[in-house]
Structure 1
Amino acid sequence: MVRRGGGAEANSGAGAGTVVAVTASERDRKGEKPAGPWRRRLHVVTGKGGTGKTTVASALALALATGGQRVLLTEVEGRQQIAQVFDTPPLPYRERKVASAPGGGEVYALAVDAEEALLEYLEMFYNLRSAGKVLGKMGAIDFATTIAPGVRDVLLTGKIKEAVNRPDGTRPSGLAYDAVVLDAPPTGRITRFLNVAREVVGLAKMGPIRSQADGVLAVLHSGQTAVHLVTLLEEMPVQETIDAVAELRAADLPVGGVVVNMVRPPLLGAKELRAARAGTLDGEELAAGIKEAGLEPTADLVAELAREAAQHAERVALEAAQRVEVAALDQPMYELPLASDGMDMGMLYRFAEMLRAQRMVG
């Protein structure tokens, strides 16, 4: 079973492109626990649809880039969500700078396309990019990746692996990027997506495809990677998070932190919340409060305010119960507030500061 997978045992001391192949279960047997920020080269961010995983992935990239680091933020679902978050034109299949971070850091972004990844693969291993373009025009590439989804996912993860390990002798680290953040598929299929290379290894016994799959597995199952999960304090997202953590642990993939997003603080004190749930709020106090707000405290208005208070108290109680469920996962937890006025770049930078303040990165 994978326990807390964080810590500072990333690839310090490893040369450019070197993979430290220590599995999650091996780290667990050694009793390694996260002693601070997640110092990883690959941060995979997943979550149920609607939990804000792209926003969290973007804020995490900014947090990692703070202090002069170069970070690559990637997506693989073809939805151009990163471009929307950073308010830029749709991302092409090439790395493009989308933001600067405090301290001289840079965030680059890439939308990984399966067809382009296959063309790149054909050129790299077989010098067949021109032939691949012909196949693309004939629809052969789309046909192949549709009938064999595993092929598509290996191409996508292979590109991510290449970015993680890409050397750059002009940089102090010897690597093109100090960290890579992947805005990954949702929790319902994250384990299959990350572990599909294992299926390919079982089919391909040798050759470039086998080497590619081996390389992907070496990165994803090592101390270089952490799979972070984004959730809301609601029953369905929390249950999907619990299920995903169990599946990731069973697959020996390194579970990272859990980011509880869109947190709303209680509007009432503990005593008032208990009274609101029990339906025993003081009507005279409610009427006095309404009058102080400059309104006429009619019986209907007082009753409506009591109903709203009861609903709020019930939601707070349900969120508290879900928070207990998340804490039971025994993974580091981080929180980001609900952006009631909507997301913009200013709020994204604030989120990055919050993640650093909570020592998710540092």
Structure 2
Amino acid sequence: MSNFEEWILGVVVPLEEERGRDQNAVKQLQALVARDMEAVNEFIRERMASDVPMVPELASHLINSGGKRLRPMLTIAASRMCGYNGDDHIKLAATVEFMHTATLLHDDVVDESDMRRGTKTARMLWGNQASVLVGDFLLGRAFKLMVETKSLRALEILSNAASVIAEGEVMQLAAAKDTGTTEDAYLRVIQAKTAALFSAATEVGAVIAGRNGTEAAALESYGRNLGIAFQLVDDALDYGGRAASLGKNVGDDFREGKITLPVVLAFRRGSADERAFWQRTLQEGERSESDLEKAIDMMQKHDALADTILRARHYGAIAIDALAIFPESDYRQALTDLVEFCINRNH
């Protein structure tokens, strides 16, 4: 067992047992929402249709590339937990997936990424221009679906999330390669860039069920804190995960000069020489083949990966507590267990 795997656990449960339980959490959620997700997937296929052949071809490449559909599953589970029995949650779940896919297409262009989920990114196959434009097409489809639900509040939540996500991208771009980034500043970026869609996905589940008060606020909190925890684990995995299960190369964030929480912590805790290393490799972009290994060694020396996971556990605990106002149900249990999956996952 690696040190990183021990840090992720933080408990005495054997690694394989813990992973098995987490995978069961995902399977439990998938089983609960399976029928609804079949409808969501069919709806997505219908609404990707276009007279321009490249549009459905490129969109399908990413949508069908093996993602767990976590965000739309959150919308379905949240709405069902709140007692919703109509059909508009299908449209909202599809909306969330279209928004997520659009942001991935745009992200890969901005980050100049070559791989996603183990396959070549759309920009590598069709080019940057096509990726951006099809992302715009999917956002247009998403807004049309929002309107079809005739829920002004759901439209407000999701449209606000779209603008916040874009702001997060700009914030990240402005802070790119800035080793002086503080932890608070970085958390603001991921709350906008990642957590905003998680929180919107869960909050609209309550709204469509007519729960516009305390329960909607609780699900917004659940989604937001789950999203923060999810991204922090991603940050740690980029330096301590496995390429085969990550669906990308370990160290991609480092090679792209991204400032993530493990870097922020290692930089702040490092010596003058170590800070000079981070400035050279990330700020100035001068990297050798051995620098990634040095970066990981420094993170381990200063507990940067372990503490990133601890931060994730903190936000995960807030997410779980947010669900406490709901009566016990299979959906509440599945959403609770999902938090542990997101923190303990190795991919």
Range of TM-score over shorter length = under 0.3
Give the structure with the higher percent helix.
2
Give TM-score, length-normalised by structure 1.
Answer: 0.24
TM-score by length of 2: 0.25
Richer in strand (by share): 1
Structure number with larger C-alpha Rg: 1
